[in-house]
Structure 1
């Protein structure tokens, strides 16, 4: 699973998304940029910045049985 956290691009924003495919994450992030941040034109550089910030989802530490 892959993830994108908007706060890595727009400081203070806590929106994030997860998906199996980077293309789906980019689609969701672009939609978020339009609706939440008022971006009317999404330039290729913005798409590249989003792609650069997509990461593998961090594995949650195992909880001890108990």
Structure 2
């Protein structure tokens, strides 16, 4: 599972999303930036910044 935490891009934002594919994570993150942060134009460098912050979600240790 892939994870993006908006606070890594917009300090103080607690929003996050996870999905199997990076493309879906980016789609959700772009929608979040539009609706919650008022970004009307999402430039390519913003998409690249989102992609750079997507990471594998840590899996809890099995006991």
Structure-1 separation of matches of 2:8 and 2:27: 17
**Structure 1: stretches of 5+ with no match in the other structure:** none
Instruction: Map 1:24-63 onto structure 2 (within 5 A).
Output: 24-63=24-63
Name the larger-Rg structure. 1
Q: TM-score of the superposition, structure 1-length normalised?
A: 0.91
SS in structure 2 of the partner of residue 52 of structure 1: helix
Q: Which consecutive unaligned segments of at least 5 residues does structure 2 have?
A: none
Q: Aligned Cα RMSD in Å?
A: 0.8
TM-score (norm 2): 0.96
1:21 is matched with 21
State the 4+ residue runs in structure 1 displaced beyond 3 angstroms: none
How far apart, CA to CA, are the structure 2 residues paired with 1:23 and 1:34? Answer: 17
